[in-house]
Chain A
Amino acid sequence: MLLGTPFHARTQPLNEAQVWRRWSGYLAAGAYELTHEREYWAIRNAAALIDVSPLLKYHVHGPDAARLLDRMVTRDVSRLGVGRVLYTPWCDTEGKVIDDGTITRLDAQRFRLTAAEPNYRWLSMNAVGLDVTVEDVSSQVASLALQGPKSRLILNACAADSLDGLAYFRVTHTRVGGVPVTISRTGYTGDLGYELWCDARDAVAVWDTLMTAGAAYGITPTGILALDIARVEAGLIMLDVDYTSAHVATIPEQKSSPFELNLGWAVDLKKAARFVGRKALAAEKTSGSAWQMVGLEIEWPNLERLFWEEGLPPRIPNTTVRASIPLSSLGRQVGYASSSCWSPLLKKYIALAHVEAAHAKPGDLLMFEIMVQHKHRYTPARVVPLPFFNPERKRE
């Protein structure tokens, strides 16, 4: 048996079809209801409660904690104030991305790093000669994402302190259901939302408090399938889906630099600290990147026509497709989509795609492969800026 998360006692009975996905050795609900549709809409229209406890979490503390992280990641941790959070990738010496996650400065010498894959060894290797302690607290810290336009109202109804003053990518400490909880204004949906971090032993109390307070606001336990659509709409990449860790890649072609993942904004070549991959990234910045990650909108009228020609209504998967889909231009393959889905909110068929730099301008037309009645077909898709969806309430 895989492990249940600290919320398993609550999530297990709610999982109507007992659909579980694997996430870092834990069971994570795919969807609680028999279809993920309502859970998706909770993210965009009410409030979704998502168990994200399987995230890997590291506490980094000691006099050199900031120096360790600054040595490892591409953004400037030295300038991160207490109570702030940043999102960053980190690279190998060739400037290829190993993983991405958030860093929270809990106090002057104490940080929390989240990661998709185990990074304890990498942290330890980079800590040589530094006065710092790294702890893997993944199983001790339970985490919940509360995402959606009603999330703030729910927290204000049940937390000991108001969340009104908590700005985007800031963190605060309060109590929920009588137990200590750290709340960050962060998430993986591109919407107004928060993540709650608490001791695993207090997990159920926090869950119950949120569910009770959220009932009047449409709070909905939400699984990975709904989250996977929201994160594509938000243009957020996923390790092992949209890129391969440089530590895992078998051949160089499988690796990506931050620039190639649309994360150039998170590479701080001017920061004081020397960091892993800096030299390679500076060179790539000068010479230009071979690939770009772009947003794609697959045009609907032609897609519908291809199906109608077979006598069928248009049919596309209703969950995010985490598989490579070829993209071509003038008959030559110039890239691939790595995540694609129908956006119920935007009423558009969208994709995150890797394309050769020459085909990455907004407005560029590419041909996207689809299967229609067991036949390969190509249908036009247009390059668009990311993210697809970015509501004002996310930062307000």
Chain B
Amino acid sequence: MANNYDAIVIGGGHNGLIHAAYLARAGKKVVVLERRHLVGGAAVTEEIVPGFKFTEFSYVVSLLRPEIIRDLELPKHGLTILPLPSTFTPMDNGDYLAAWDDHDKTRREIWRHSPKDADAYDAYSRAMARMAMAVKPILSMIPPDPTSLSPKDLFGLLKLGGHAGSLSEKDFHNLAKLMTMSAADLLEEWFELDPLKGTKSASGIIGTFLGPRSPGTAYVLLHHYMGEIDGAFRAWGFAKGGTGGISNSIASSARALGVEVRLNASVAHVIVKGGRAVGVALENGDELYAKTISSSLDPKRTFLKLIEPRHLPDDFLTAIKRYRTRGSSGKVNLALSELPDFTALPGVGPLHRGAISISPSIEYIERAYDAAKYGDLPARPYIDSILPSMIDPDMAPPGQHVMSCFVQYAPYHLNGGWDDAKREAFGDSVVDTLAQYAPNLKRAIIGRQVLVPPDIERITGLTEGNIFAGELALHQLFFLRPAPGYTDYRTPIRGFWQCGSGTHPGGGIMGANGRLAALEVLKG
């Protein structure tokens, strides 16, 4: 039977593809069903303006697991991760703060502003790296539930405890603080420079509907350092071809392993018989059957859209309904005839090959959050931008450029709702903000694409446009993601599994979710 498989994977994002590839590697007959005309989910590259390739949603990679790169032989299938070596933060006084790709240069740069912070910068980096080492094993295991007495959980806790045990007392206290503090409070313990604190705090709020002063945001700062301790294997940077390049390499590997990838195949619902998932029905009426069915969609979409509520226990349904997916970020992709010329550091230089961060202070970002908190658009948003064409010349015609701007905040629930005028106003606010630092930007724009949370939801399917398929807040991480008792990728329905970013260890192009879920499915 053509429509009978060992496993059906719903959603062709990076986790769905990785999940499918691991199942196929174990000899299973697997099909991936992707609603759109291309694979990748939120990791796609499209030529929106002719000749200009936009890495539309996600734009960098930092934690793609080395074991996945190895097992699926992704470099052979085209995965190339290029360095993104610096961060440039223009300041409102006309100066700038930069972190370059050289320790001495960065130290001298920070020293120029604050000798105290120049020293603290090194100490902070070392402390964060040590803590990241202690926490990192959790990325490659199912998080143990501390309330459980099952041997599996106890063993897991022991294993984690072993790693944490290598920390000094001081580091351990720092780790406890990190788990509970706000990014702002933590950074204020270390630094005095506003642009330094602002830029660092931003990595704590990306993808969440929280501000740098919200408790719990400090932990996410640690994710930034986890990538660095993979040593030479480090997968931090810009993927050749944009993040769509990553998806294509995974799809190529999956296909080579025998996975069938069906595009334009939108799943209407999961067929459940006798408490067991047995197949899926497509929007076009086709039905496919398999022993196991895995959803890489976010938990809300998976359990509230694809499954009839009667198949799910009440407490689980309630937990999923409460699972927070408030979209908070937007994306502005620009096609440029020339590079933005920053008044703080004129000319073409190394700054154009790294991140350009509009984060002059914590207060700046917190004020942007204040607006969003009450359903308004911030006048001056936080922006993290890169120029992919400076790193990968294939992204734009020779001599021309693409600019990717990640923007926060753009609340999904905007006062009065989103419409075209508000979307364009949002795009204008981003361009206006950048143009304050690089005045030639406006005349350089050949084309632009503005994506706000409802667009992200419409195109990728992510509920409320949340880029991590559910916020990376402590109450939704580890043994609580996506719901207590269901962190091992199982669901209340037999034969039905979850494998997307809404599961442990969370969002970003990590792939651990898809892999760990596949290993669980294979255990049976």
**A residues engaging B (CB < 8 A)?**
33-35, 37-38, 41, 44-46, 150, 153, 215-218, 300-301, 304, 307, 311, 313-316, 318, 342, 344-349
Task: Report A-chain residues with C-beta under 8 Å of the C-beta of B390.
Answer: 218
Q: Are B232 and A35 in contact (CB under 8 A)?
A: no
Nearest CB in chain A: distance from B496 CB, A: 32
Question: What are 7 inter-chain pairs, A to B, with CB distance below 8 A?
Answer: A45-B82, A218-B393, A313-B230, A314-B231, A315-B231, A347-B69, A347-B74
Q: Are B393 and A46 in contact (CB under 8 A)?
A: yes
Q: Are A345 and B232 in contact (CB under 8 A)?
A: no
A45-B392, A311-B166 known; A349-B232 Cβ under 8 A: yes
Nearest CB in chain B: distance from A138 CB, A: 34
Shortest Cβ distance from B229 into A: residue: A313
Q: What's the Cα separation between A218 and B391 when bound, in Å?
A: 8
Q: What's the Cα separation between A37 and B230 when bound, in Å?
A: 17
Number of residue pairs A-B, CB distance < 8 angstroms: 68
Q: Are A216 and B399 in contact (CB under 8 A)?
A: yes
Other-chain residue from B74, B101, B392, B393 in contact with A34 (beta carbon distance below 8 A): B101
If A38-B353, A316-B232, A342-B232 are given as contacts, then 14 extra A-B residue pairs at C-beta distance below 8 Å, sorted by A number, are A34-B101, A35-B85, A37-B85, A41-B82, A45-B80, A45-B82, A46-B393, A217-B398, A300-B70, A311-B133, A311-B166, A315-B231, A344-B232, A347-B75
Task: Report B-chain residues with C-beta under 8 Å of the C-beta of A346.
Answer: 75
Other-chain residue from A216, A300, A318, A345 in contact with B75 (beta carbon distance below 8 A): A345
Q: What's the Cα separation between A41 and B82 when bound, in Å?
A: 7
Q: Are A35 and B82 in contact (CB under 8 A)?
A: no
User: How does the 8 Å CB contact mask read for B346-380 relative to A, with 1 for contact and 0 for none?
Assistant: 00000001000000000000000000000000000
Nearest CB in chain B: distance from A330 CB, A: 26
Q: Are A313 and B80 in contact (CB under 8 A)?
A: no
Q: Are B83 and A38 in contact (CB under 8 A)?
A: yes
Q: Are A300 and B66 in contact (CB under 8 A)?
A: yes
Q: Are B85 and A318 in contact (CB under 8 A)?
A: no
Other-chain residue from A44, A150, A347 in contact with B233 (beta carbon distance below 8 A): A347
Nearest CB in chain B: distance from A358 CB, A: 29
Shortest Cβ distance from A148 into B: residue: B393
Task: Report A-chain residues with C-beta under 8 Å of the C-beta of B70.
Answer: 300-301, 347
Task: Report A-chain residues with C-beta under 8 Å of the C-beta of B85.
Answer: 35, 37-38
User: How does the 8 Å CB contact mask read for B93-128 relative to A, with 1 for contact and 0 for none?
Assistant: 000000001100100000000000000000000000
Task: Report B-chain residues with C-beta under 8 Å of the C-beta of A45.
Answer: 80, 82, 240, 392-393
**B residues engaging A (CB < 8 A)?**
66-67, 69-70, 74-75, 80, 82-83, 85, 101-102, 105, 133, 166, 229-233, 240, 353, 390, 392-393, 398-399
Q: What's the Cα separation between A37 and B84 when bound, in Å?
A: 10
Q: What's the Cα separation between A315 and B229 when bound, in Å?
A: 9
Q: What's the Cα separation between A349 and B231 when bound, in Å?
A: 12
Q: Are A314 and B101 in contact (CB under 8 A)?
A: no
Nearest CB in chain B: distance from A345 CB, A: 6
Task: Report B-chain residues with C-beta under 8 Å of the C-beta of A316.
Answer: 231-232
Q: What's the Cα separation between A215 and B67 when bound, in Å?
A: 37
Q: What's the Cα separation between A314 and B101 when bound, in Å?
A: 20
Shortest Cβ distance from B235 into A: residue: A347
Nearest CB in chain A: distance from B235 CB, A: 8
Task: Report B-chain residues with C-beta under 8 Å of the C-beta of A33.
Answer: 101
A46-B393, A345-B80, A347-B70 known; A313-B231 Cβ under 8 A: yes
Q: What's the Cα separation between A314 and B133 when bound, in Å?
A: 11
Q: Are A153 and B398 in contact (CB under 8 A)?
A: yes
Q: What's the Cα separation between A44 and B394 when bound, in Å?
A: 13
Q: Are A217 and B229 in contact (CB under 8 A)?
A: no
Q: What's the Cα separation between A44 and B240 when bound, in Å?
A: 11
Shortest Cβ distance from B76 into A: residue: A346
Q: What's the Cα separation between A307 and B393 when bound, in Å?
A: 37
Most chain B CB neighbours (cut-off 10 Å) among A41, A150, A313: A313
Q: Are B393 and A150 in contact (CB under 8 A)?
A: yes
Shortest Cβ distance from B133 into A: residue: A313
Q: What's the Cα separation between A217 and B102 when bound, in Å?
A: 25
A300-B66, A313-B230 known; A35-B353 Cβ under 8 A: no
Task: Report A-chain residues with C-beta under 8 Å of the C-beta of B101.
Answer: 33-35, 37
Q: What's the Cα separation between A334 and B390 when bound, in Å?
A: 46
Task: Report A-chain residues with C-beta under 8 Å of the C-beta of B240.
Answer: 45
Other-chain residue from B80, B233, B393 in contact with A300 (beta carbon distance below 8 A): B233
Shortest Cβ distance from A153 into B: residue: B398
Task: Report A-chain residues with C-beta under 8 Å of the C-beta of B398.
Answer: 153, 216-217
Task: Report A-chain residues with C-beta under 8 Å of the C-beta of B69.
Answer: 347
Task: Report A-chain residues with C-beta under 8 Å of the C-beta of B166.
Answer: 311
Shortest Cβ distance from A311 into B: residue: B166
Task: Report B-chain residues with C-beta under 8 Å of the C-beta of A46.
Answer: 393
Task: Report A-chain residues with C-beta under 8 Å of the C-beta of B399.
Answer: 215-216
Task: Report A-chain residues with C-beta under 8 Å of the C-beta of B66.
Answer: 300, 347
Q: Are B83 and A41 in contact (CB under 8 A)?
A: yes
Shortest Cβ distance from A17 into B: residue: B102
Shortest 4 CB-CB contacts between residues of A and residues of B: A216-B398, A216-B399, A314-B231, A34-B102
Task: Report B-chain residues with C-beta under 8 Å of the C-beta of A215.
Answer: 399
Task: Report B-chain residues with C-beta under 8 Å of the C-beta of A38.
Answer: 83, 85, 353
Nearest CB in chain B: distance from A319 CB, A: 11
Nearest CB in chain B: distance from A385 CB, A: 14
A45-B393, A311-B166 known; A34-B233 Cβ under 8 A: no
Nearest CB in chain A: distance from B228 CB, A: 8
Nearest CB in chain A: distance from B88 CB, A: 16
Nearest CB in chain A: distance from B242 CB, A: 13
Task: Report A-chain residues with C-beta under 8 Å of the C-beta of B80.
Answer: 44-45, 345
Most chain B CB neighbours (cut-off 10 Å) among A33, A41, A346, A347: A347
Task: Report A-chain residues with C-beta under 8 Å of the C-beta of B82.
Answer: 41, 45
Task: Report A-chain residues with C-beta under 8 Å of the C-beta of B67.
Answer: 301
Q: Are A37 and B83 in contact (CB under 8 A)?
A: yes
Q: What's the Cα separation between A301 and B140 when bound, in Å?
A: 13
Q: What's the Cα separation between A317 and B67 when bound, in Å?
A: 21
Nearest CB in chain B: distance from A159 CB, A: 16
Nearest CB in chain B: distance from A219 CB, A: 10
Q: What's the Cα separation between A215 and B352 when bound, in Å?
A: 14
Nearest CB in chain A: distance from B145 CB, A: 25
Most chain A CB neighbours (cut-off 10 Å) among B66, B67, B166, B231: B231
Shortest Cβ distance from B101 into A: residue: A35
Nearest CB in chain A: distance from B320 CB, A: 36
Task: Report B-chain residues with C-beta under 8 Å of the C-beta of A217.
Answer: 393, 398
Task: Report B-chain residues with C-beta under 8 Å of the C-beta of A348.
Answer: 75
Nearest CB in chain A: distance from B391 CB, A: 8
Nearest CB in chain A: distance from B165 CB, A: 10
Other-chain residue from B102, B229, B231 in contact with A35 (beta carbon distance below 8 A): B102
Q: What's the Cα separation between A300 and B233 when bound, in Å?
A: 9
Task: Report A-chain residues with C-beta under 8 Å of the C-beta of B102.
Answer: 34-35
Nearest CB in chain B: distance from A221 CB, A: 14
Task: Report B-chain residues with C-beta under 8 Å of the C-beta of A34.
Answer: 101-102, 105
Q: Are B232 and A318 in contact (CB under 8 A)?
A: yes
Q: What's the Cα separation between A301 and B70 when bound, in Å?
A: 10
Q: What's the Cα separation between A316 and B230 when bound, in Å?
A: 11
Most chain A CB neighbours (cut-off 10 Å) among B80, B133, B232: B232
Q: Are B393 and A314 in contact (CB under 8 A)?
A: no
Q: What's the Cα separation between A347 and B75 when bound, in Å?
A: 7
Q: What's the Cα separation between A215 and B233 when bound, in Å?
A: 30
Shortest Cβ distance from B137 into A: residue: A308
Q: What's the Cα separation between A41 and B80 when bound, in Å?
A: 10
Other-chain residue from B75, B232, B353 in contact with A314 (beta carbon distance below 8 A): B232
Task: Report B-chain residues with C-beta under 8 Å of the C-beta of A347.
Answer: 66, 69-70, 74-75, 233
Task: Report B-chain residues with C-beta under 8 Å of the C-beta of A37.
Answer: 83, 85, 101
Q: What's the Cα separation between A314 and B83 when bound, in Å?
A: 19
Most chain A CB neighbours (cut-off 10 Å) among B67, B390, B393: B393
Task: Report A-chain residues with C-beta under 8 Å of the C-beta of B233.
Answer: 300, 304, 314, 347
Q: What's the Cα separation between A35 and B353 when bound, in Å?
A: 14
Shortest Cβ distance from B74 into A: residue: A347
Nearest CB in chain A: distance from B190 CB, A: 22
Nearest CB in chain B: distance from A178 CB, A: 22
Task: Report A-chain residues with C-beta under 8 Å of the C-beta of B74.
Answer: 347
